[in-house]
Amino acid sequence: MERRKFTKTLITSMGALGLSQNLMGNALLNNNNKKLGIALVGLGNYSTNQLAPALLETKMCELKAIVTGSPCKIPQWKTKYGIMDHQIYNYENFDAIANNSEVDIIYIVLPNNMHKEFTLRAFSAGKHVICEKPLALNAQEASEMIAAGKKANRELYVGYRLHYEPHHQETIRLCREQAFGKIKHFEGGFGFRAGNPNQWRLKKLYGGGALMDVGIYVIQGARYTIGEEPIAVTAREYKTDKVKFSEVDELIVWQMEFPSGAVASCTTSFSASTNHLFVAAEKGFIRLSPSYTYNMIAGYTRGYSFDFPQVNQQALHMDGISNHLINGVPHLNTGGDEGLRDMKVIDAIFASAASDGKRILI
């Protein structure tokens, strides 16, 4: 308990400085005040309301360019973030960003079916890439993206912000140290009501669906708490609205089997709200609820509550990646290989659901 109290105190003291990654890594060191330039590709809700504001708080990176197909958005971004004309691109002239020395990292915030194309174009432009999750439409695409990064000698990262979130970091620590013995069972779910029937998330063309959009968080949660890679999955898909969800999955439930014998029972949905993570071990448990949102994450376990500060997950994530590029400090497991592992699981879940619950080996 003394060590746990120390860890909580440590995170609390670091939270205000944006350094929660110290729980599992090193502090941000930016002695030369160098900041890497980030270009946001796609100015939808996540870029507008999360990433761009977070870049006002980052210590090691800053917004240096935008890429958009909507000219009407440009004036607001120029006013709010001081974007200059030479820092503005569209999807057609994007490749010219190769000539912009201010930009070091391309952050791809586009529909899933565009991830591979713009990752490859970014590598061709000589830039590092952060790609929002899921990394690709399938494992084959993810493998091609990773190979392209290696060929270009550039880094590929995935937008796994929760690896830099204190509640999840503490959960990972407790699980790795087997604070409550061996993990036997994981249970988790993430879902919300997808209201607008015309949004890209409900279109097969764009790689939409609940599993790709939010179910991936549950896959991540199971993998980094159990600490193993799943060896098999069984899955079932259900629809309560066959018109609205005619093109994509609405509700999927699945189980993952792990080498140690641990089992994960998971749910994702576009028609109902769920947001939790539960780890059952031999001598205790850990619960996070809400678990996967941008703020107000809460958790508790036997003996104490997770009394950690709410942090800007996006700022910590982008700073952690910048710290890796500038100082060589390891990032917190947010590389392209991690994205590929999730895509292999997603491919297996879809295959099992399509075969009425057949057990699929991974």
CA dist list (Å): 168 to 69, 265, 285: 35, 19, 14
pLDDT category at 4 given cuts 50, 70, 90 is very low
Looking at residue 30, what is its pLDDT? 62
HSE value, Cβ hemisphere, 13 Å, CA-based, for 232: 11
- Of 12-16, 188-192, 231-235, 247-251, the one with minimum mean pLDDT is 12-16
pLDDT (tens digit per residue) in 317-339? 999 999 999 999 999 999 999 99
Q: What does the domain layout of the chain look like in residue ranges?
A: 34-158, 166-309+336-361
pLDDT (tens digit per residue) in 239-263? 999 999 999 999 999 999 999 999 9
Q: 24 pLDDT exceeds 90?
A: no
Number of H helices and E strands in the chain, helices first, is 11, 15
pLDDT category at 28 given cuts 50, 70, 90 is low
Of the options 3.20.20.370, 3.40.50.970, 3.30.360.10, 1.20.1050.10, the CATH number for the domain spanning 166-309+336-361: 3.30.360.10
Q: What is the amino acid identity at position 36?
A: L
pLDDT category at 27 given cuts 50, 70, 90 is low
d(CA 156, CA 106): 10
Q: 34 pLDDT exceeds 90?
A: no
- Residues involved in catalysis: 133, 217
d(CA 238, CA 168): 30
pLDDT category at 20 given cuts 50, 70, 90 is very low
Cβ–Cβ < 8 Å for 276, 269: no
Q: 99 pLDDT exceeds 90?
A: yes
> Do 34-158 and 166-309+336-361 have matching folds?
no
d(CA 126, CA 103): 10
Q: 113 pLDDT exceeds 50?
A: yes
Q: Which residues lie below 8 Å from residue 49, measured CB to CB, with a gap of 6+?
A: none
Selected residue with higher pLDDT from 110 and 304 = 110
- The residue written with tokens 């590389």 in the block is 335
The length of the chain in residues reads: 362
Tokens representing residue 121 in the block: 């174009």
d(CA 134, CA 268): 14
Task: Collapse the DSSP code of 283 into the 3-class scheme (helix H, G, I; strand E, B; otherwise coil) and give the result.
Answer: coil
Looking at residue 126, what is its pLDDT? 98
- Of 118-122, 196-200, 351-355, the one with minimum mean pLDDT is 196-200
Cβ–Cβ < 8 Å for 212, 123: no
Q: Give Cα 86 distance to the centre of its chain.
A: 30
Q: Which residues lie below 8 Å from residue 125, measured CB to CB, with a gap of 6+?
A: 94, 95, 97, 98, 106
Looking at residue 29, what is its pLDDT? 60
pTM above 0.85, yes or no: yes
CATH fold label, 34-158: Rossmann fold (3.40.50)
